[in-house]
Amino acid sequence: MIKIENKAERVLLVGLETYENAANFVSTFEELASLAKTAGVEVVGVAVQKLDKPNARTYVGTGKLEEIAMTVDSREIDTVIFNSRLSPRQNVALEDELGVKVIDRMQLILDIFALRARSQEGMLQVEQAQLSYMKPRLAGRGVALSRQAGGIGSKGPGESRLELDRRHIEERIEDIDRKLQKIEKSRDLARKRRLESGVFKVGLVGYTNAGKSSILNALVNERQQQYEKNELFATLDATTKLIKVKDDFSVALTDTVGFIQDLPTELIKAFKSTLEESANVDLLVHVIDASNPNHEAHEQTVLHLLSELGMDKIPQLVVYNKMDLAPADFGYTLTPALELSIKSEQGPMVFRQAILQELNKIFVRFEIELPYDKSYLLPELKKISLLDNVVETETSYQITGKISPKLEWKLENL
């Protein structure tokens, strides 16, 4: 029997350094290579040019385009990936000139999301983002979108529908909207139950591959662990687990999709409901990869997106993770901050203690007397508050501790 091997697409990466993007050009171009690796393609070459501004028709200059065309032919390139967003006009012109599939950074990210989506909601959100992105690129393509239709490897839940005409795409987007609204109603009910339960909510946010999933997995048992890998966008779907912090007191810890520079607006819109899982928390934990040389740019990207999403007013704990892999002269820019190596033996304990310290800042102190005939309420009190001292007298428990301000009313019913 003849074994047929599926070879990875051979791609050429193209970057254009302009006055506007000069400050972060190197980091974003390196990130493009990581994105390509995550998508499973083989990078066989790069092409970089400096211009004052992009060419309106072909993005790069005429001479550079000729050079790229020769590279495409000589190295048998399947796909050319540009590091910036291309206009529909530029995309069409470049494919006509180069004779191969051309995609930009935005479509590459969309394709990776398509590969990573696992839940029904995640797959619908990605498909909606793909369709919204591709709709304006239908002009001049007729019914089929030719090489553009499939993105990397023609993968993802939406590629078969990307060959539909504009009217059908709009109908499909509306259909997805209806389905997502139903899912959102269920999410709202679950969120409402968590609010009513009074569980303190902690949200993990950060740049993709900063180690958010590693933190969550380090705090739960093996059966509860989620997918974790050293790659971009390993996690898309929001995951919430109860994490014991002190005695019987637990918090709900939520991990969700990581951020990235130039995150497509289509994805921000499509994943709004998922991102809101982190927006409705009592404490944000901003996780930063201390081993990444571009961590400062990553920090600013996350802070900018948190501001855009209206999450910058939530109390925040900054965590520099992977400190065991950080350079010896590492210096952090955001303060105060926790230095952490979550995969070390002491990592989980250090993280729990840091959360406990933040709770002590947010919670308010209380003193109550609990009669012995209401001693059955003591276990519940231990679950909703941080107890400092429980003293037994002749007739009652004298209890001191701290509790979330939104749960103070529960003390009146004890």
Which residues are annotated as part of the binding site for Mg(2+)?
213, 235
Tokens 């909703």: give the residue.
Answer: 384
First-last CA distance in the chain: 75
Give the integer Cα–Cα distance in Å for 329 and 35.
Answer: 28
Known binding positions for GTP: 206-213, 233-237, 255-258, 321-324, 341-343
Give the integer Cα–Cα distance in Å for 89 and 69.
Answer: 18
Q: Which residues have C-beta within 8 Å of that of residue 409, sequence separation ≥ 6?
A: none
Give the integer Cα–Cα distance in Å for 246 and 239.
Answer: 22
Give the integer Cα–Cα distance in Å for 58 and 66.
Answer: 11
CB 14 within 8 A of CB 45: no
Q: How far is CA 29 from the centre of its chain?
A: 19
Q: How many residues does the chain have?
A: 414
Shortest CA distance to 385 belongs to which of 251, 281, 196?
251
Known binding positions: 206-213, 233-237, 255-258, 321-324, 341-343
CB 251 within 8 A of CB 243: yes
Quote the Cα angle for 339-344-348, to 5°. Answer: 70
Whole-number Cα distances in Å, 370 to 333, 346, 412: 47, 37, 11
